[in-house]
Amino acid sequence: MTPPVTPSTRRFRVVDSPIGPLTLTWDDERDAVVGVHVHDQREREPDPAFGVPDDGACAGLDALAAELDEYFAGERERFSVPVDPPGTAFSRAVWAALAEVPYGSVTTYGALAAAVGKPRAAQAVGTANARNPVSLLVPCHRVVNAAGEPSGGGPGIARKRLLLALERRTP
**Helix or strand run (H / E) with residue 13:** strand 10-15
DSSP of 23-48, one letter per residue?
Answer: EEEEETTTTEEEEEEETT-TTPPPGG
| Residues 87, 98, 153, 113, CA torsion sign | negative
Catalytic residue among 140, 143, 144, 163: 140
- Tell me whether residue 58 is one of the annotated catalytic residues: no
Q: Active-site residue numbers?
A: 140
